[in-house]
């Protein structure tokens, strides 16, 4: 397996690459500057040499008098030797070389049109002689007030290898100093980065982030993180669905997102609560648990987990209905056993007529109860619930009756399920309310269906709900019982509100007139068609 570089090794390799790139760039700049410097310095020096030659009387005479031209060659060679120039040429007005360092140069032509030296001006620049580049100057030779020729002094232009050879002695120094500084800087930078990354290498950080993302988005519970400014630092798919925000909300303040105010208060800790909090979010009942993040004794944010309890509460309510039915059956079985004992006793006393009258009486009472409920409530699920609740109320010495003006037809399956949930919780709440009452304990249920809306009311003779608590009675976790706790009491009425709201209906506490026999009346309205 190929061994990967450590963080310090990667920094060092990167620094070395940067150093090499910088050195190459510096060398390119140095070579360009050397080129410019060479042209300026050598051009000025060659101009001085050419001016010296143009001012010599011997050269002026040799250009004017053809018989004196033989002295030009040794004069030009002497000038070249003394000045250190590589090339000194004497030119006539046509640019033809009349004297040079070697006889082969005589007759060669130099372009004087570009240099404008024939106009009496000195010129510095580059030109090519016999495929070799030279840097030098052209200076006009003036005799008797007119230009009679020119003197050219030049030095061969050095190539790149010559210039690199000149700079070579300092390159190892530059490279060594830069390498030492780069290595030291890489080690210091790597140590600082490692302190900030808890000593982990980049590949370890990558694996950690990938594992965190997979785990975060793989769990069913919602997770949302906030910093101290209440900006979203992380959010998984479950939290996005529950809160109704996009998964790209990371970095945005919570106040800018469409989150309900009471949910924001729990997420930010402004509600002052701690531990599990039962919060309605839309048509869901969610358990929120907020934990502050503390590092180095400072709060750096918070993480809140979310557990959707809606389906669980519905199952719990269905279980309560089943438990109520079971308890009613148990009570009826116990009552039936007692009645059998009475019948058996009457037969032992040889009172068959009295036994027959007793059987007719108890059979008629039960049949009358079932007939009364069935006459007013045609929906089987609601009727069965009411009969079961009547038996349970009878065990608590409470009278539960159905209002004589009730009229409830058979309902669609979905609405019937929601109605049983609402009605069961309202009756249970009423049974709790009248339990501590010393007066007559009475609960009355009224059910109607009109204008495509099912309306049920549950009235009890209990103490009622104080005016100061009417705004809180439907909140999550709120209860007037001492045993109220998240996930325990304080859920029933909140679930009723959630079910009604989800269907587009509502639940309320009706005002109680002063002369009313009822302590509290709860009314729930559910449309026949569920609104989405």
| Chain segment 493-519, per-residue pLDDT in tens | 877 888 888 788 889 998 888 888 888
Distance CA 278, CA 477 (A): 6
In percent, the amount of the chain with pLDDT more than 70 equals 79
Mean predicted lDDT score pLDDT of the chain: 77
Which tens digits make up the pLDDT trace of 293-309?
887 778 888 888 888 77
Q: Is the pLDDT of residue 23 over 50?
A: yes
Crossing angle (nearest 10°) for helices 7-54 and 171-196: 150
State mean pLDDT over 17-24. 74
**Gap between the Cα atoms of 502 and 408, Å rounded:** 21
Q: Which residues belong to CATH 3.30.450.20 in the chain?
A: 7-164, 219-308
Do residues 382 and 447 touch, judged by C-beta distance below 8 A? yes
Nearest C-alpha neighbor of 102 from the set 75, 71, 127, 73: 73
Cα 208 to Cα 214, 216, 232, 248, distances in angstroms: 10, 12, 20, 21
Separation of alpha carbons 484 and 505, rounded Å: 27
Say how far apart CA 191 and CA 199 lie, in whole Å. 9
pLDDT on residue 436: 73
The stretch 315-338 carries a mean pLDDT of: 65
The residue among 492 and 427 whose pLDDT is bigger is 427
Which region holds residue 272: left if phi is over 0, alpha if psi is between -120 and 50, else beta? left
H-type helices in 244-377, by residue range?
Answer: 261-268, 310-348, 352-376
The percent helix, strand, coil of the chain (3-state, each to 5) is 50, 25, 25
Among 22-26, 60-64, 311-315, the range scoring the smallest mean pLDDT is: 311-315
Fold of 350-527: Heat Shock Protein 90 (3.30.565)
CA dist 240 and 70 (Å) reads 103
Confidence of residue 486 (pLDDT cuts 50, 70, 90): very low
Domain(s) of CATH 3.30.565.10: residues in the chain: 350-527
- Long-range CB pairs of 75-80, under 8 A, 24+ apart, other chains included: 75/99, 76/100, 76/101, 76/151, 77/101, 79/49, 79/52, 79/53, 79/153, 80/153
Spatial neighbors of 50 by CB under 8 A, at least 6 apart, are 88, 122, 136, 137, 138, 139, 151, 152, 153
**Based on the number of CB atoms within 10 Å of its own CB, is 196 exposed (0-12), middle (13-18) or buried (19 or more)?**
exposed
Which DSSP symbol is given to 273? -
| CATH T-level topology, domain 7-164 | Beta-Lactamase (3.30.450)
Strand order in the sheet with 123-129: 97-99, 87-91, 146-156, 132-143, 123-129
Average pLDDT score over residue span 442-447: 91
DSSP H helix total and E strand total for the chain:
13, 15
Predicted pLDDT at 167: 55
What confidence category does residue 163 fall into, taking pLDDT thresholds of 50, 70 and 90? Answer: low
What pLDDT band is residue 482 in, cutting at 50, 70 and 90? very low
Q: Closest Cα to residue 9, out of 250, 189, 161, 176? A: 189
Residue 3: pLDDT band (50, 70, 90) is low
**Beta-bridge partners for 456:** 447, 524
Q: For the residues 63-79, what does the mean pLDDT come to?
A: 79
Domain 219-308 belongs in CATH node 3.30.450.20: yes
At residue 162, the pLDDT reads: 63
| pLDDT 10s digits, 407-419 | 888 888 888 888 8
Higher pLDDT, 343 or 92: 92
Distance, CA of 435 to CA of 440 (rounded, Å): 10
Which of 106-115, 309-318, 400-409, 471-480 holds the top average pLDDT? 400-409
The distance in angstroms from the start CA to the end CA of the chain is 58
DSSP state of 439: S
Q: What is the DSSP letter of 87?
A: E
Per the CB < 8 A criterion, the answer to whether 223 and 235 are in contact is yes
pLDDT at 329: 66
- Token output for 114: 């570009």
Which of 395, 467, 460, 469 is closest to 431 using CA atoms? Answer: 460
Whether the pLDDT of residue 116 is over 50: the answer is yes
Average confidence (pLDDT) over 97-118: 77
């Amino acid at each position: 397996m190929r061994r990967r570089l450590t963080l310090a090794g990667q920094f060092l390799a990167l620094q070395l690459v940067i150093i090499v790139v910088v050195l190459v760039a510096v060398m390119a700049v140095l070579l360009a500057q050397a080129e410019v410097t060479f042209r300026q310095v050598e051009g000025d020096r060659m101009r001085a040499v050419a001016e010296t030659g143009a001012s010599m009387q011997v050269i002026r005479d040799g250009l004017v008098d053809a018989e004196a031209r033989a002295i030009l060659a040794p004069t030009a060679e002497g000038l070249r030797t003394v000045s250190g120039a590589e090339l000194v040429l004497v030119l006539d007005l046509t640019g033809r070389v009349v004297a040079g360092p070697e006889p082969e140069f005589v007759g060669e032509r130099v372009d004087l049109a570009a240099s404008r030296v024939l106009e009496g001006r000195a010129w510095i620049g580059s030109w090519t002689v016999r495929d070799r580049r030279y840097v030098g100057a052209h200076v006009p030779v003036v005799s008797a007030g007119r230009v009679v020729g020119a003197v050219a002094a030049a030095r061969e232009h050095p190539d790149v290898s010559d210039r690199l050879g000149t700079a070579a002695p300092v390159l190892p120094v530059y490279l060594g100093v830069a390498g030492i500084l780069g290595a030291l800087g890489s080690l210091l930078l790597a140590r600082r980065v490692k302190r900030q990354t808890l000593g982990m290498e980049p590949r370890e950080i990558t694996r950690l982030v990938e594992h965190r993302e997979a785990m975060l988005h793989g769990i069913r519970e919602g997770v949302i993180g906030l910093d101290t400014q209440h900006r979203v630092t992380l959010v998984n798919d479950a939290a996005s669905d529950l809160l109704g925000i996009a998964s790209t909300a990371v970095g945005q303040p919570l106040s800018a997102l469409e989150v309900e105010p009471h949910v924001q208060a729990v997420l930010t800790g402004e509600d002052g609560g701690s531990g599990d909090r039962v919060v309605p979010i839309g048509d869901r009942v969610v358990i929120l648990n907020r934990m502050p993040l503390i590092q180095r004794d400072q709060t750096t944010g918070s993480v809140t987990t979310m557990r959707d309890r809606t389906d669980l509460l519905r199952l719990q309510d269905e279980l309560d209905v089943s438990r109520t039915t079971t308890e009613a059956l148990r009570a009826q079985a116990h009552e039936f056993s007692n009645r059998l004992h009475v019948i058996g006793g009457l037969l032992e006393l040889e009172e068959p007529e009295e036994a027959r009258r007793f059987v007719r009486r108890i059979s008629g009472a039960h049949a009358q109860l079932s007939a009364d409920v069935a006459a007013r409530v045609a929906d089987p699920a609601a009727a069965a619930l009411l009969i079961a609740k009547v038996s349970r109320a009878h065990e608590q010495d409470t009278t539960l009756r159905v209002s004589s003006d009730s009229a409830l037809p058979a309902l669609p399956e979905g609405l019937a399920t929601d109605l049983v949930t609402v009605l069961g919780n309202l009756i249970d709440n009423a049974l709790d309310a009248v339990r501590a009452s010393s007066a007559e304990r009475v609960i009355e249920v009224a059910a109607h269906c009109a204008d495509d809306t099912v309306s049920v009311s549950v009235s009890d003779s209990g103490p009622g709900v104080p005016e100061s608590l009417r705004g809180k009675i439907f909140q999550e976790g709120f209860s007037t019982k001492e045993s109220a706790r998240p996930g325990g009491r304080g859920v029933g009425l909140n679930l009723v509100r959630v079910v009604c709201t989800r269907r587009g209906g509502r639940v309320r506490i009706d005002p109680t007139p002063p002369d009313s026999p009822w302590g509290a009346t709860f009314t729930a309205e559910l449309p026949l068609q569920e609104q989405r």
